[in-house]
Amino acid sequence: MDFNGQVAVVTGGARGIGKAIAEGLAKKGITLVIADISLEQATETSAEVGKLGVKTIAVKLDVSKSDEVTKTFEDVSKEFGRIDILINNAGITRDGLVLRMKEDDWDAVININLKSVFLCSKEAVKIMAKQRYGRVVNIASVVAFMGNPGQANYSASKAGIVGLTKTIAKEYASRGITANVVAPGFITTAMTDALPENVKEEMKRAIPLGRFGTVEDVANAVVFLASPDSGYITGQVVHVNGGMYM
Ligand SMILES: NC(=O)c1ccc[n+]([C@@H]2O[C@H](COP(=O)([O-])OP(=O)(O)OC[C@H]3O[C@@H](n4cnc5c(N)ncnc54)[C@H](O)[C@@H]3O)[C@@H](O)[C@H]2O)c1
């Protein structure tokens, strides 16, 4: 994997899966832009990841706001002169059964999880098309394929990412740009840690590999799809879920 001189933007890169992706890319020597709504956490992560010997910057960005997205990509392009990799990772949940789900919760999740991928990809692809090279990796979820009670908004946003990614893949393949999805299953994070032990045990029984995934399990797949080595793979979904959905 020769990432020589490449620049990556990781949205929601301040913590969790995004942080692990940033670390994975940093280990390959890639210059990193960690774009997150929390500047404080992004700055901390940027300093930490920078210890791996790469240039990193933290940027405050709400991925659902088109003006902020446009400005961020203009700034990154001015600062580094190129963008090779975009990882659309920022995401939220606002769970509730359909009959109780508030319209605001629907809109927030669709805007932050799905509209953001459109906005960020549009800006990145503009730059990548001129370079005739780019890698877009979008983080969806197993629930895009299985559904999940209480997550109508989240499942819809993640399923939307799949259609959007395939369309970007078809529109920009001729410019040397690939676009793929990584769909994680249950990954050990602060969110899943908080679940009661009996619920966790029940979930594990549904996973053939018998354990939750780690953030590194997800990052490993993302780093491969972000690399020059994955050049003949586009419009695909890589499931990182221990076999819970096949
Ligand atoms: N944890 C899991 O089990 C799991 C499973 C499947 C998919 N995913 C997906 O992986 C991605 C990362 O999840 P995570 O578990 O690391 O979550 P997390 O909550 O730990 O991290 C999400 C990051 O996104 C940032 N963010 C939130 N809203 C933002 C906005 N509007 N603009 C910019 N940044 C924003 C947060 O500040 C945070 O740093 C998400 O897209 C999530 O849907 C997670």
**Ligand 1 atom showing the smallest separation from residue 190 Cα:** 20
Distance, in Å, from the CA atom of 171 to the CA atom of 173, rounded to the nearest integer, reads 6
Distance, in Å, from the CA atom of 149 to the CA atom of 100, rounded to the nearest integer, reads 12
- What is the Cα 126 distance to its own chain's centre? 19
Confidence of residue 193 (pLDDT cuts 50, 70, 90): confident
Q: What is the CA(79)–ligand 1 centre distance, in A?
A: 26
Residues with CB under 6 Å of ligand 1 are: 11-12, 14-18, 36-38, 61-64, 89-92, 112, 139, 141, 184, 186-187, 189, 191-192
% pLDDT > 90, the chain: 93
- CATH top class, domain 7-240: alpha beta
pLDDT digits (tens, 9 = 90+) for 118-174: 999 999 999 999 999 999 999 999 999 999 999 999 999 999 999 999 999 999 999
* Residue 197 main-chain phi, psi, to 5 deg: -55, -45
**Best residue for ligand 1 mutational test, from 10, 23, 34, 36 (most atoms within 8 Å of Cβ):** 36
Q: What is the CA(29)–ligand 1 centre distance, in A?
A: 24
pLDDT digits (tens, 9 = 90+) for 23-49: 999 999 999 999 999 999 999 999 999
Protein residue closest via CA to atom 30 of ligand 1: 62
Q: What is the pTM of this model?
A: 0.98
Fill in the DSSP letter of residue 158. H
**Best residue for ligand 1 mutational test, from 39, 92, 199, 218 (most atoms within 8 Å of Cβ):** 92
Q: Please, which residues bridge with residue 145 across strands? A: none
Instruction: Compute the chain's Rg from CA coordinates.
Output: 17
- Report the mean per-residue pLDDT for the chain: 97
Query: What three-state secondary structure class fits 175?
Result: helix
Distance, in Å, from the CA atom of 60 to the CA atom of 39, rounded to the nearest integer, reads 5
pLDDT digits (tens, 9 = 90+) for 84-118: 999 999 999 999 999 999 999 999 999 999 999 99
Distance, in Å, from the CA atom of 225 to the CA atom of 181, rounded to the nearest integer, reads 9
Please give the pLDDT value at position 225.
98
Kindly give the pairing relationship between strand 134-139 and strand 177-184.
parallel
Range scoring the smallest mean pLDDT among 10-19, 79-88, 140-149, 196-205: 196-205
Protein residue closest via CA to atom 36 of ligand 1: 12
Please give the pLDDT value at position 1.
76
Cα angle, residue 163 at apex, residues 126 and 98 outer, rounded to 5°? 125
Provide the residue ranges of all domains of the chain, joining segments of one domain with +.
Answer: 7-240
